[in-house]
Amino acid sequence: MTTGNHPRRGLNPDATIAREGALARVPGAFQPVVAAARAQLATAFGGRRMHSAYLYGSIPRGTAIPGTSDLDLLVALNDEPAPADRNLADGVERGLDGAFAVINGAGLLLYSAATLLSELERHDLGFFVACLCTPLIGPDLGGQLPRYRPTSLLARETNGDLALVIPRWRSRLAESGTAQQREQLCRGVARRLVRTGFTLVMPRWGGWTSDLAESAEAFAAYYPQRGGQMRAAARLGRVPAAAPGQLEEMINDLAVWLVAEYTKVHGTKAPREAGLPPTQAQGYVLEDRLDGMGVVVDAELIGDGEQEGVGGGDRLVLLELGDEGVGLGGVAAAEDRLQPGPGYGVAVPGTGLPARHSVR
């Protein structure tokens, strides 16, 4: 089956987006840590608290690199997450990271099943669960969600909020005092832009991918005048640089252009209600688990090499979560995940602000 001059990727025979991971694809080197994660989650959130748990990212896609890739998990609770749940999740993260050298960090997202199934999150977190997450424990929420197609609606609700992130990126760049801080920001910004560039053209491209390089090439086929910038962003998403000039170009040129073009083509993402707990006010998890999710999520910004993905998330993702996610605002990589903040929230790194969501 083809669209344009290329075979459709990432689709089922009925042209809906296929779930990209599976437990059968987990590389042998990572099977012990996945088994340990299952056991620790059952202990921490067992009984009536946990509805289900999921893997996402390079490990269930089968592209993880020992010692480089992180372990990304999502737990759906039967009730809204409370501070005590976040404390338990932090303990699971620390325990897995400390016990298994094969992973370069662990990240655990918490949401209520009701939020994941809500109408507002249907094309953001819902898409993330149904297509980018692999069931690990319990009944699969994906069975209660629709089959997704690469439509303009999906594009809008996953990455149609890039304008909200740019001011934070500018502030973080101005405040970054070390090469490490700039590299972390570079990774999150680059991934979010590649994810957004891909979902901009996704309906025309007619498929789905979480690969950064392929995402950049898909974008370049429709916007050749910006193709060089997007390919450079894909490279920086894998191997970030600390040079301020590269960050400034991505933030002040490519990102600004993307906002205008995205709004013209797809519109803007439905607003999340202010004042809700972060777990209820987040956007596409796929985004930058935060830049470090941005939407999501943004701790996840540590790389898995060339196969690291776009999809979702970096949305696992608060204001910008996301690791390997496509932009789906919420999910981010384990390293980009926000640290616990007051109340329900997860705080955005480098600020005193609660994260909105990440990821990406």
CATH number for the domain including 66?
A: 3.30.460.10
Residue type for position 37: A
Find out whether 124 and 148 touch, Cβ atoms under 8 Å. Answer: no
The confidence score (pLDDT) of residue 242 equals 85
Integer-rounded Cα Rg, in Å, for the chain is 18
pTM of the model: 0.79
pLDDT by 10-residue block (mean), the chain, 360 residues: 55 94 97 98 93 96 91 97 96 96 95 96 96 97 96 96 95 93 93 97 95 96 98 93 91 97 96 53 36 32 35 33 41 40 31 31
Alpha carbon separation from 149 to 47, 161, 167 (Å, rounded): 35, 20, 31
E-assigned strand segments in the chain? 2-3, 6-7, 50-56, 71-77, 106-112, 133-137, 339-340, 346-347
State which residues form the domain around 116.
Answer: 23-149
For 276-310, give one letter per residue: b (16+ CB within 10 A) or e: ebbbbbbbbbbbbbbbbbbbbbbbbbbbbeebbbb
- Evaluate whether residue 82 is within a structural domain: yes
Burial (CB count within 10 angstroms: exposed 0-12, middle 13-18, buried 19+), residue 56: buried
Give the number of other CB atoms < 10 A from CB of residue 97. 18
Token digits of residue 241: 């640089």
- Evaluate whether residue 80 is within a structural domain: yes
- Evaluate whether residue 204 is within a structural domain: no
The confidence score (pLDDT) of residue 9 equals 86
Half-sphere exposure of 13 (CA within 13 A, CB side): 0
Rounded to 5 degrees, φ, ψ at 31 are: -65, -40
The confidence score (pLDDT) of residue 279 equals 38
- The residues facing 133 across adjacent strands are 56
CA-CA distance, 57 to 61, in Å (whole number)? 7
3-state SS class at 350: coil
3-state SS class at 289: strand
The confidence score (pLDDT) of residue 328 equals 55
- Evaluate whether residue 118 is within a structural domain: yes
Find out whether 326 and 311 touch, Cβ atoms under 8 Å. Answer: yes
Burial (CB count within 10 angstroms: exposed 0-12, middle 13-18, buried 19+), residue 39: exposed
Find out whether 319 and 332 touch, Cβ atoms under 8 Å. Answer: no
Distance of CA 274 to the CA centre of its chain: 21
Burial (CB count within 10 angstroms: exposed 0-12, middle 13-18, buried 19+), residue 113: buried
CA-CA distance, 354 to 339, in Å (whole number)? 10
The H or E element that residue 355 is part of is none
CA-CA distance, 113 to 238, in Å (whole number)? 32
- Evaluate whether residue 317 is within a structural domain: no
- Evaluate whether residue 218 is within a structural domain: no
Token digits of residue 303: 């790389």
Residue with token string 């099977």: 31
The confidence score (pLDDT) of residue 264 equals 97
Q: How many domains does the chain have?
A: 1
The confidence score (pLDDT) of residue 273 equals 66
CA-CA distance, 211 to 195, in Å (whole number)? 9
The confidence score (pLDDT) of residue 72 equals 96
The H or E element that residue 184 is part of is helix 179-205
- Evaluate whether residue 77 is within a structural domain: yes
**Phi/psi-derived region of residue 105, left when phi > 0, alpha when psi is between -120 and 50, beta in every other case:** left
- Evaluate whether residue 134 is within a structural domain: yes
Token digits of residue 158: 């996953």
